[in-house]
Amino acid sequence: MAPPPPSPPPISLKVVILLLRVLTAVFLVITVIILSTNSVTIESQGNSLKFHFKDVYAYRYMLSAAVIGLVYAVIQLFFTISQFATGIKNPLNYQVDFYGDKVISYLVATGSAAGFGVSKDLKDVFIALVALDSTDPVDKFFSRGYASASLLLFAFICLAVLSVFSSYAITKRPI
Q: Kindly report, residue by residue over 37-77, the tens digit of the pLDDT.
A: 988 887 767 777 788 888 889 999 999 999 999 999 999 99
Cα 60 to Cα 14, 18, 46, 49, 69, distances in angstroms? 34, 29, 29, 19, 14
Q: How many Å apart are CA 41 and CA 48, to the nearest integer?
A: 7
Q: What is the mean pLDDT of the chain?
A: 86
Q: Residue 94's closest CA among 16, 17, 171, 14?
A: 171
153 and 112 Cβ atoms separated by less than 8 Å: yes
Kindly report, residue by residue over 3-47, the tens digit of the pLDDT: 676 555 456 888 898 999 999 999 999 999 999 998 888 776 777
Beta bridge partners, 95, equal none
pTM: 0.85
In the chain, what are the domain boundaries? 13-37+52-172
48 and 135 Cβ atoms separated by less than 8 Å: no
- Helix, strand, coil fractions of the chain, as percent rounded to 5: 75, 5, 15
3 and 98 Cβ atoms separated by less than 8 Å: no
